[in-house]
Every structure is written in structure tokens, then in C-alpha cells.
């Protein structure tokens, strides 16, 4: 385990060292930028360096239910009435995210694994500590937290895109890995898949009902920033 921590710290340290300029300008303004969403990495580097520059959305054709009572938009790219409007406002209020740039949330950008893990880390910290405030160290802290909880095995693929299977599995693990009373029946979710229990739990908790069909979950489909905060909102608030 010690060796895994050292490897994780080294990989994330390399990533953070590349992102120092982005953090430096806004270090005194945590409300302006989401430290986890300001880093980027080239496609060929995805399996080696963690970064944060995306999050998921539930598209209109997705069968998942939409949150009601939308709040006023906080970002120029979060239109009034969008299914992710209320979840985004909630996530900002709870210090789970600050957006990618001042006035921008980038709801349609793809979410990376390290990004959803950071959102989850912040959600847990915010619930436990009313004075919690996001920092540029959250990426490293979230990865270490996820490693300790067994949510990830190492840092090699932490910067990969977050899929629907990843999303429900991470949320399920972060909140105790409760056993679902009923098994979800999706033709594309193998009974012995390592995320099968998480899918059943997510359906039971009404976090998701599938990807536009009662029989299709689409576990390999990538998520957007809007989708991820919506999933979190549905579990924690609704």
C-alpha cells in the first residue's frame, strides 16, 4: 500500500506541477474556478497523468428523470430550464464545483474519473464540515481518498473518461456500498460485472433508470459534467 501511495503521489505531483500557472492566478479566489476542472491533458497521456476538465449530463433522450424546481442559472452555459440547472446550482452551493472558468460550467464536456472522484470527495467533506472550502490540492486528496477506500486500484487510468458504469460504481462505493433489494434487469449488464450491484442500487435509488430504455444501461457510455452533478444531486438531495 505504501508503494501505491508513493506511485500515486508521484503521478499526481507531475500533473499538478504542470497546472501551477492555472492555479496561481486564482489561488486567492476559490469561488472563481474549480481547481479540479482547470487541468487538461493530451489524449495520448490519459493513462498516465490525472487531470480535470470535464463532467457529465443527462441528455433529453436519456430516460433518467429530471430534477424539478430549477434554480436561477449560475453560469452562462447553464440555460434556464435545463435538466442540470438545479443540480449545478446545488453543487456550487455545496462547494462541490466552481465551474471550469469564471462564468462557465461546461456541462457538455466529458467528465474524467479523477473529476468525479474529486466531486465525490468534496461532497463528503462538505457534508461533514460546514466550513469546508475547495482547494487546488483536492485532486491529490481525492485520488488518495479513493485509493484508501478501494474505489481505484492505482493512478494509471485515473485520467480516463468516466463511463456510466464508473459513475454509479464510484457513487455507490463512496456512500457505503449498500446492497440493492432488487436486481436491475439490463441486457447489457452482466450479472458478474464488478459494477452490477452498483447499477441495481442506482436504479433503486432513482439515480438512473437506464439510458433511454428499460433494458439498456449503456455502461460504457461516457458521462458529461452535467450528468455527473445530476447523479450526485439525485442521490444526496432527492
Encode pLDDT of 116-161 as tens digits.
Answer: 999 999 999 988 888 888 998 999 999 999 999 999 988 788 999 9
**186-192: long-range contacts, CB 8 A cutoff, minimum separation 24:** 186/210, 186/215, 186/216, 186/217, 187/215, 187/216, 188/216, 188/217, 188/218, 188/219, 189/217, 189/219
pLDDT of residue 153: 85
State how far the alpha carbon of 213 is from the alpha carbons of 81, 101, 158, in Å.
23, 35, 29
CA dihedral 111, 88, 105, 13 (to 10 degrees): -50
Collapsing DSSP to helix, strand or coil, 113 comes out as helix
Residue 204 contacts residue 211 (beta carbons within 8 Å): no
Residue 107 contacts residue 82 (beta carbons within 8 Å): yes
Q: Per the confidence metrics, is the pTM higher than 0.75?
A: no
More confident residue, 195 or 129: 195
- Tracing cell 474524467 back to the chain, one arrives at 112
Amino acid at each position: 500500500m505504501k508503494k501505491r501511495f508513493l506511485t500515486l503521489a508521484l503521478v499526481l505531483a507531475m500533473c499538478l506541477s504542470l497546472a501551477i500557472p492555472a492555479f496561481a492566478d486564482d489561488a486567492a479566489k476559490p469561488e472563481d474556478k474549480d481547481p479540479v476542472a482547470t487541468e487538461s491533458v493530451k489524449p495520448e497521456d490519459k493513462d498516465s497523468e490525472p487531470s480535470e476538465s470535464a463532467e457529465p449530463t443527462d441528455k433529453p433522450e436519456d430516460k433518467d428523470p429530471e430534477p424539478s424546481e430549477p434554480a436561477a442559472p449560475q453560469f452562462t452555459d447553464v440555460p434556464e430550464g435545463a435538466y442540470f440547472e438545479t443540480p449545478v446550482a446545488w453543487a456550487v452551493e455545496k462547494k462541490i464545483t466552481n465551474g471550469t472558468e469564471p462564468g462557465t460550467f461546461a456541462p457538455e464536456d466529458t467528465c474524467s474519473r479523477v473529476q468525479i472522484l474529486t466531486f465525490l470527495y468534496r461532497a463528503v467533506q462538505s457534508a461533514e464540515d460546514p466550513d469546508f472550502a475547495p482547494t487546488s490540492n483536492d485532486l491529490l486528496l481525492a485520488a488518495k481518498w479513493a485509493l484508501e477506500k478501494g474505489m481505484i486500484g492505482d493512478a494509471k487510468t485515473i485520467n480516463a473518461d468516466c463511463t456510466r458504469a464508473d459513475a454509479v460504481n464510484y457513487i455507490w462505493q463512496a456512500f457505503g456500498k449498500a446492497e440493492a433489494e432488487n436486481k436491475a434487469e439490463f441486457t447489457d449488464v452482466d450479472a458478474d460485472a464488478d459494477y452490477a450491484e452498483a447499477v441495481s442500487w442506482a436504479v433503486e435509488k432513482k439515480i438512473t433508470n437506464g439510458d433511454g430504455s428499460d433494458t439498456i444501461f449503456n455502461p460504457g457510455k461516457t458521462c458529461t459534467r452535467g450528468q455527473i452533478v445530476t447523479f450526485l444531486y439525485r442521490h444526496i438531495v432527492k
